[in-house]
C-alpha cells in the first residue's frame, strides 16, 4: 500500500462531502484546487484543498498568500461571527529548503480577523497531518489515504469519477432551486402597469394629480373620508412619469423573474401583493403625500429573497447573495437621500412585508410550521400596527382635522374652518400641512384677515410649488389686498402649470390690463 498524493487528494474531498456534509464552493478548471465549506454551531469551516508538490518554500509561501487573498474576497458575504480556514496541500514531498515556519497558524485581515491553519500531506507526513486536520475540524473518524500500488491508476480514476458525480448532483440540486417554475406572473404584472400607464397618458398625463387620484393612487384624504382602502392595491400598478415606470419595470423584471423561479407562481403572487400592501399601509401611516408605484412590492421581492437566504444560506452566498445585498443597500441609500420625492416608507414597509410574507408561504419543498406561524404573526402585526398607527398617528390625525376644516368651509363656517385647520397644523408636520393651510388661508380671506391668508398661502406655495390651484388662490388674495404685480406673477404661474384652465387665463388677462 502506497501514498499517492493525487488519489489522496480526491479521496479526501469525496470523504468530506459524502460523510461530513461539506458542500462544494468552487474549484479551478482542472480540479487541482478545490474549496469546501460547512457550518457547525455558528462556525463556518472552509477547507481549501490543493494537489501540488512544491519544490521550494518560496513557491509554497506565494500560494499561501494567494489563498489568503482569495479568502478575503470570499468571506465578505459571510456574516457568521467565526470563520475558520484550513489550507490543505497534497504533495509527493515537502519543499527542499526550510519551510517549517509556513506551518504556523496565520491571521488573515478581513472584516474580522480570520485564522488560517496550513497542512502539508506528503508521503512521510500524510497520517499525522490528516489526524491534525480531523482534530481541528472536530471529526471523529478517519480516511485511508493509501492504496494498492498496482491499482493506483484505477483508484485515481474512480475517485475522480466519484467527485465529478457529487459535483453534478450538487449542481443539479442548485439548478432545481433556481428553476422550479418558468416566470409568468411577472410578465402579467408588467403588462398591467404598462397598460395603466398608457391610460394615464391618454387621460391627461402620468404626472397629473387628478388623473392619478381618479385611477386609484394612494391618497389619504379619500382613504379616510370615503374608506377607499382599495387604493393601497391599485396604487401598486400606477406610475408617476416615464422614468418612474421604466426603473420600476426593469427592477420588477430582474427581481421578479428570479423570485418567481425560486418560489413558484402562487407563492410569488402572494409575496408580491402582500409585500406591496404592507408597503402601501406604511406609506399611508407615515406619509400624507399622494403616491403610486410598484416599488413597495419590488422591495417586497428583496425581502423574499433575503428570506430565501436564511433557508439556503450556502447557496445564497455562493450565487446571488453579495450582488443582492449591494443592490439593496444602494436602493436604500437612494431612498433616504431622495426621501422628498421617493416614498421611503413604502420601500421599508415592502422590504419587511416581503420577508414576512415569504416566511408565511414558505419555500417549496421546505416544510417549517414554525416559520409559517412566525410569518403569519409578523404579517398580522405589521398590518394591524400600521392600520392603528395610520388611523391614530399624527399624520392622519392632522388630516382628520383638515377634512373637518374642508367640510366646514363648504358650509361657510369660517371660524370653524380656522379652528380645525389650526388644530391640524398643531398636530401634524409639513406632510400634513397642505390641506389645513389651503382652507385656513381661504377662510382668513373671507373674514378679511388678508395678511394671515397671504402668510398661509406663501407657506403653501413653498410646500406645493407645482400646484396651480395654490398659485391661483394666492393671486386672488393678493389682488384683493392691492398687490397686483405679485398677484399677476402667481396668476401666470397657475396658467403655466394648467394651460387648459380658463379661470387661470382670465385672471391673467384681467390683471394684465
pLDDT given for residue 78 in this prediction: 56
Dihedral Cα 405, 410, 411, 415, nearest 10 deg: 40
The answer on 267 and 143 residing in a single domain is no
Q: Say yes or no: 174 and 25 in one domain.
A: yes
Question: Which range marks the domain in which residue 417 is found?
Answer: 395-511
* Tally of domains within the chain: 3
pLDDT tens-digit map of 387-404: 999 998 888 887 888 888
Any idea what the CATH number is for the domain that residue 286 is in? 1.20.1540.10
Beta bridge partners of 95: none
- Is the pLDDT confidence value at 8 over 80? yes
189-209 mean pLDDT: 94
Contact 159, 131 (CB under 8 A): no
Alpha-carbon span 186 to 19, nearest angstrom: 41
If asked whether residues 357 and 405 sit together in one domain, one would say: no
Residue 80 reports pLDDT greater than 60: no
Instruction: Indicate whether 359 and 239 sit together in one domain.
Output: yes
* Structural domain includes residue 159: yes
Predicted pLDDT of residue 464: 85
462 within a domain of the structure (yes/no) = yes
d(CA 360, CA 263): 12
Q: Are residues 296 and 318 in the same domain?
A: yes
Would you call 164 helix, strand, or coil by DSSP? helix
Domain CATH number, residue 493: 1.25.40.10
pLDDT mean over 93-104? 89
Residues 18 and 90 placed together within one structural domain of the fold: yes
Q: Please determine, for residue 186, whether its predicted confidence score (pLDDT) is greater than 80.
A: yes
pLDDT tens-digit profile of 472-490? 999 899 889 888 889 889 8
Domain boundary among 151, 178, 205: 178
Domain assignment present for residue 25? The answer is yes
Q: Which residues are catalytic?
A: 295, 347
Q: 332, 349, 378 — which closes off a domain? A: 378
Q: Are residues 28 and 106 in the same domain?
A: yes
What is the H or E stretch that residue 42 is in? none
Residue finishing a domain among 138, 153, 178: 178
The verdict on 112 and 16 lying in the same domain is yes
CB 275 within 8 A of CB 304: yes
Residue 383 forms part of a structural domain: no
How high is the pLDDT of residue 87? 95
Both 157 and 25 in one domain: the answer is yes
- 75 lies in the same domain as 216: no
The grid coordinates listed for 110 are 478581513
The DSSP annotation for 76-131 comes to GG---SEEEEEEEEE-SS--SS--GGGGS-EEE-SSS-EEEEEEEE-TTTHHHHHH
Contact assessment for residue 309 and residue 342, using Cβ atoms and an 8 Å cutoff: no
Are 210 and 98 found together in one domain?
no
Does some domain include residue 388? no
Residues 320 and 224 in one domain: yes
Sole residue written with cell 402562487: 266
For residue 262, being part of any structural domain is answered with yes
Q: What is the pLDDT of residue 316?
A: 85
Does some domain include residue 385?
no
User: What are the tens digits of pLDDT across the range 15-51?
Assistant: 998 889 888 888 887 788 999 988 888 788 999 999 9
Residue 127, pLDDT > 70, answer yes
Q: What pLDDT is attached to residue 347?
A: 96
Q: Is residue 386 part of a domain?
A: no
Question: Taking the alpha carbons of 54, 60, 64, 69 in that order, is the dihedral positive or negative?
Answer: negative
C-alpha cell at 210: 387628478
**What does pLDDT average to over the chain?**
88
Amino acid at each position: 500500500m502506497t501514498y499517492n498524493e493525487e488519489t489522496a487528494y480526491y479521496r479526501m474531498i469525496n470523504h468530506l462531502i459524502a460523510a461530513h456534509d461539506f458542500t462544494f464552493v468552487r474549484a479551478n478548471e482542472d480540479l487541482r484546487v478545490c474549496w469546501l465549506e460547512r457550518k457547525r454551531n455558528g462556525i463556518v469551516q472552509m477547507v481549501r484543498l490543493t494537489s501540488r508538490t512544491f519544490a521550494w518554500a518560496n513557491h509554497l509561501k506565494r500560494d499561501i498568500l494567494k489563498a489568503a487573498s482569495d479568502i478575503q474576497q470570499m468571506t465578505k458575504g459571510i456574516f457568521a461571527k467565526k470563520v475558520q480556514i484550513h489550507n490543505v496541500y497534497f504533495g509527493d514531498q515537502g519543499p527542499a529548503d526550510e519551510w517549517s515556519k509556513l506551518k504556523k497558524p496565520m491571521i488573515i485581515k478581513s472584516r474580522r480577523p480570520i485564522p488560517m491553519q496550513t497542512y502539508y500531506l506528503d508521503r512521510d507526513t500524510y497520517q499525522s497531518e490528516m489526524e491534525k486536520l480531523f482534530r481541528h475540524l472536530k471529526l471523529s473518524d478517519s480516511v485511508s489515504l493509501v492504496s494498492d500500488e498496482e491499482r493506483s491508476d484505477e483508484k485515481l480514476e474512480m475517485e475522480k469519477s466519484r467527485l465529478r458525480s457529487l459535483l453534478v448532483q450538487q449542481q443539479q440540486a442548485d439548478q432545481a432551486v433556481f428553476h422550479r417554475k418558468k416566470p409568468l406572473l411577472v410578465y402579467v404584472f408588467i403588462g398591467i402597469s404598462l397598460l395603466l400607464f398608457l391610460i394615464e397618458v391618454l387621460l391627461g398625463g402620468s404626472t397629473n394629480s387628478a388623473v392619478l387620484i381618479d385611477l386609484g393612487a394612494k391618497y389619504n384624504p379619500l382613504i379616510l373620508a370615503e374608506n377607499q382602502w382599495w387604493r393601497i392595491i391599485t396604487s401598486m400598478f400606477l406610475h408617476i412619469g416615464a422614468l418612474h415606470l421604466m426603473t420600476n419595470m426593469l427592477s420588477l423584471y430582474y427581481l421578479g423573474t428570479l423570485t418567481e423561479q425560486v418560489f413558484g407562481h402562487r407563492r410569488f403572487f402572494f409575496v408580491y401583493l402582500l409585500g406591496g400592501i404592507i408597503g402601501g399601509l406604511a406609506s399611508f401611516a407615515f406619509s400624507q403625500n399622494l403616491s403610486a408605484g410598484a416599488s413597495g412590492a419590488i422591495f417586497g421581492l428583496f425581502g423574499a429573497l433575503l428570506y430565501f437566504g436564511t433557508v439556503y444560506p450556502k447557496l445564497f452566498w455562493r450565487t446571488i447573495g453579495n450582488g443582492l445585498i449591494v443592490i439593496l443597500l444602494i436602493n436604500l441609500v437612494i431612498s433616504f437621500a431622495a426621501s422628498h420625492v421617493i416614498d421611503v416608507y413604502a420601500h421599508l414597509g415592502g422590504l419587511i412585508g416581503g420577508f414576512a410574507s415569504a416566511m408565511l408561504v414558505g419555500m417549496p419543498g421546505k416544510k417549517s410550521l414554525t416559520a409559517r406561524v412566525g410569518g403569519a404573526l409578523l404579517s398580522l402585526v405589521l398590518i394591524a400596527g400600521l392600520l392603528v398607527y395610520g388611523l391614530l398617528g399624527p399624520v392622519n390625525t392632522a388630516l382628520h382635522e383638515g377634512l373637518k376644516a374642508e367640510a366646514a368651509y363648504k358650509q361657510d363656517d369660517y371660524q370653524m374652518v380656522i379652528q380645525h385647520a389650526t388644530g391640524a397644523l398643531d398636530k401634524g408636520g409639513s406632510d400634513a400641512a397642505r390641506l389645513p393651510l389651503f382652507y385656513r388661508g381661504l377662510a382668513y380671506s373671507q373674514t378679511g384677515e388678508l395678511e394671515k391668508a397671504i402668510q398661509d398661502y406663501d407657506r403653501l406655495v413653498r410646500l406645493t410649488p407645482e400646484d396651480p390651484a395654490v398659485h391661483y388662490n394666492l393671486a386672488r388674495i393678493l389682488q384683493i389686498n392691492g398687490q397686483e404685480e405679485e398677484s399677476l406673477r402667481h396668476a401666470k404661474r397657475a396658467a403655466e402649470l394648467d394651460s387648459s384652465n380658463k379661470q387661470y387665463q382670465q385672471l391673467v388677462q384681467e390683471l394684465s390690463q
